[in-house]
Amino acid sequence: MRPSTIKALYKVLLRDVRKMAAAPGFRLRESLVPEQWGHGTLYPAARDATSASSYLSGEEKARWTKLQTFLGPQKGGQDVDFVELVRLKFRSGNPTHLDDLMWAVQEVSHQRLLAESSSVTKTDDVLVEATGRYLPQHSDPSARRFRYTYRVRVLNEGVDAIRITGRHYIFDHGNQKREILPRHSPQVVGLTPTIQPGMK
């Protein structure tokens, strides 16, 4: 590949990383997995956030592991200066880094899509993050049947325990908003979990 092409790819990657990192509430996210739905379990407090979820497919586990390897000592991706990381790894235009550069362009695109499909809200000391994905293979628009998979993370950043007693879901798909569950619908996947300070 010509040096000018490598330089152009680097510029595309740098531009996309800037946009990705500027998104409100941005963090690196694992892919959504339909099989994860319905387990309703609390996030294990001792789980290493850099290790792949057991719900991910082999391909998605490999993707997450490669991302953590790319981050190196800054695994987890929190408080990482992604723009500087990309500069350090790819600014030289070294052709031996071409495979990693191509992978990084695809991964940043994937992370941007996850960020655009997410909503992050904080009320008092409770941070709620929801990520959704439309499932066309399980939907039938002609019958007005639409299926989604989603993941909701609730983090208690306060000093007191909280209890989740209900939920309200609105899916925004393109130019259509659908209220899936009305406000104050009871429980969360059949549970009313108590979340201690620092837990999610």
pLDDT digits (tens, 9 = 90+) for 144-160: 888 888 888 888 899 99
Q: For residues 47 and 83, state if they share a domain.
A: yes
Supply the pLDDT for residue 143.
92
Query: Structure tokens of 32?
Result: 């959504």
Return the pLDDT at 41. 56
98-116 vs 58-71: helix crossing angle, rounded to 10: 110
pLDDT at res. 142? 93
Q: Is the pTM of this model over 0.75?
A: yes
Six token digits for residue 35: 């099989």
pLDDT at 153: 85
Say if residue 145 is in the same domain as residue 166. yes
Tell me whether residue 200 is in a domain: no
Structural domains in the chain (count):
2
Strand pairing report for 166-173 and 162-163: unpaired
- Cβ burial of 146 (10 Å; 0-12, 13-18, 19+) is middle
Confidence at residue 106, expressed as pLDDT on a 0 to 100 scale: 92
| The pLDDT of residue 15 | 92
Nearest to 51 by CA among 69, 26, 32: 69
Domain holding 78, by residue range, is 3-116
Residue-level pLDDT at 77:
55
pLDDT of residue 159: 93
**Last residue of some domain: 116, 145, 161?**
116
Q: In the chain, which stretches have pLDDT less than 50?
A: 46
- Tens digits of residue pLDDT in 20-37: 888 777 888 888 877 666
The kind and range of the H/E element at 118 are strand 118-123
Residues 50 and 90 in one domain: yes
Q: What is the CATH number of the domain that holds 132?
A: 2.60.40.1470
> 3-state class of 62 per DSSP?
helix
Residues 93, 2 contacting (CB under 8 angstroms):
no
- HSE-up of residue 86 (Cα within 13 Å, Cβ side): 23
3 Cβ contact list (under 8 Å, min separation 6):
93, 95
Burial call 20-48: b when 16+ CB within 10 Å, e when fewer? bbeeeebbbbbbbbeebeeeeeeeeeeee
Residues 64 and 56: beta-carbon distance below 8 Å: yes
